[in-house]
Structure 1
Amino acid sequence: MPSVPDPSATTAADVPSDSPVGDTPPIDAVIPHRPTEDVLGVLTGTFLASLGLYFLQTAGAVTGGTAGLALLLTHALSTPFAVLFALVNLPFFALAWWKKGWVFTVKTAICVGLISVFSLIHPQFLPLDEMPLPYAVIGGNLLMGVGLLIIFRHGASLGGFNILALILQERAGLRAGYVQMALDVAVILLSLLVLNISQVLLSALGGVILNVVLALNHRPGRYRA
């Protein structure tokens, strides 16, 4: 006896060509971000990353990369972090232009500028005289890690070592998080020149937290958009 068709079931032939189902892209299709999505993503990512840096700066901790270098320089110079962060990133823009193209370079320059701007805004709306070092290190690096992930997903970086890490991931297959971790360790070791051993050890732990977030979530082929 023939089976009775389920009236609730539909097939591809039953779906009109102008229906939402018919317009659904294949599961492996690449869906690029719209310009408005890029703008919102970059603003969100830089806000979170700069807030994490503000936590670290308030507690007297450091991190890796050019942000860590800028934080270290604030201990020796009276120049604001916002200015130092922009200056130490300048040499890496040439590398970005050469290997990643002008779109990536312009986006990265905008991100670096936004970090500098947000670093001036945070103290005005969230004044912090001090913050417990362990909380600042853990919370600050988690915020930075999430912020960097968002920035990477929208085709940009925070300059400096981020650029080098992304290029090595694309060209040599090395995970950006692990490359960044190695470079960050070198910067954190330099902080022994200006910080005590407990600050350095906790800063190193923070660097591990940050780069584990990147290594676990930013892999080639994991995301398609």
Structure 2
Amino acid sequence: MTTITYSSRARFFRRLWQKNIHILAGSLIQGFAMGVFLFPHAIPAGGCAGLAILLYHSLQLPVSIGLWATNILFLLLAVHHLGRVSAIGTIIVITATAVSVNFFQVYLHSPFSNVWLDLIAGSVFLGAGISVLLRERFTNGGIGFVALALARRRKVNPGSTLFWMNAVIFLLTAVVIDWSIIVLALLCQWISTRIVKMAYSPVMLLKRPLYFGVWRKK
């Protein structure tokens, strides 16, 4: 009995450690994508990033702080749908991402000198980071928390939900941001959500999205 209890506890702590590593990795990957490839060209990596860029242009508020604040606001809108535990984890993701964005913006620079190459690289890394977080039942931020809640209720792919929510915010901010930036932002969202869909709807699983298994009610 003692052996079984010890084994169960060991598995629990091992899984908890792995989960925390994955959450941190996903946050750093998307922070790397935004800080190195996307934000230097003012390309919003998502709806909250678009709002953060607007805050920077209007109030000179640092993008990392604006990113954190807007994500927290969206998180509060959906916290009652997914629970406090998920909310706490998402706050950790938001904070780690904001800190990593600030770090990468200061200490790392893109090896490319072309906006399109930066767009592709940043979008791929962004999608990879989001996929890692979704596999651990966490989102890439507050607006992702809202998208995850909607996807859970309506049984739709979270990548598609994220895309359309972000697209609406991009259109609303088009008055302030140059239209070429909006086009780049939509392309970024399209590429990154393709990465998410590839991760969650592999052909080898007979077209059964993985997120159905993750969110299945017990």
TM-score by length of structure 2 reads: 0.79
Deviation digits for residues 108-165 of structure 1 (CA, Å, limit 9, x no counterpart): 0000000111112113321469842212221111111100110111121122221121
Instruction: Kindly provide the amino acid, as one letter, of the partner of residue 67 in structure 1.
Output: A
Match of 1:83 in 2: 65
Instruction: Kindly provide the amino acid, as one letter, of the partner of residue 36 in structure 1.
Output: W
Instruction: Indicate if the aligned counterparts of 2:31 and 2:101 stay in contact, CA closer than 8 A.
Output: yes
Instruction: Indicate if the aligned counterparts of 2:110 and 2:118 stay in contact, CA closer than 8 A.
Output: no
Task: Return the structure number with greater helix share.
Answer: 2
| 1:81/1:131 CA distance change after superposition, 3 Å | farther
Q: Name the CA distance, whole Å, in 1 between partners of 2:193 and 2:77.
A: 22
Match of 1:113 in 2: 95
Instruction: Kindly provide the amino acid, as one letter, of the partner of residue 29 in structure 2.
Output: L
Could you say what the CA RMSD is over the residues aligned between the two structures, in angstroms?
Answer: 2.5
Instruction: Kindly provide the amino acid, as one letter, of the partner of residue 210 in structure 2.
Output: R
Instruction: Kindly provide the amino acid, as one letter, of the partner of residue 99 in structure 2.
Output: V
Structure 2 residue 51 is matched with structure 1 residue 63: no
| 1:128/1:115 CA distance change after superposition, 3 Å | same
| 1:93/1:195 CA distance change after superposition, 3 Å | closer
Match of 2:118 in 1: 136
Instruction: Indicate if the aligned counterparts of 1:107 and 1:155 stay in contact, CA closer than 8 A.
Output: no
Instruction: Choose from 148, 166, 172 the match for 2:148.
Output: 166
Instruction: Choose from 15, 27, 34 the match for 2:15.
Output: 34
Match of 1:146 in 2: 128
| 1:109/1:186 CA distance change after superposition, 3 Å | same
Match of 2:25 in 1: 44
The CA deviation at 1:211 is 1.6
Match of 1:187 in 2: 169
Structure number with bigger Rg: 1
| 1:189/1:93 CA distance change after superposition, 3 Å | closer
Instruction: Indicate if the aligned counterparts of 2:71 and 2:143 stay in contact, CA closer than 8 A.
Output: no
Instruction: Indicate if the aligned counterparts of 2:133 and 2:139 stay in contact, CA closer than 8 A.
Output: yes
The CA deviation at 1:57 is 0.8
| 1:187/1:33 CA distance change after superposition, 3 Å | farther
Share of identical aligned residues, percent? 24
Uncovered stretches (5+) of structure 1, i.e. residues with no partner: 1-30
TM-score by length of structure 1 reads: 0.77
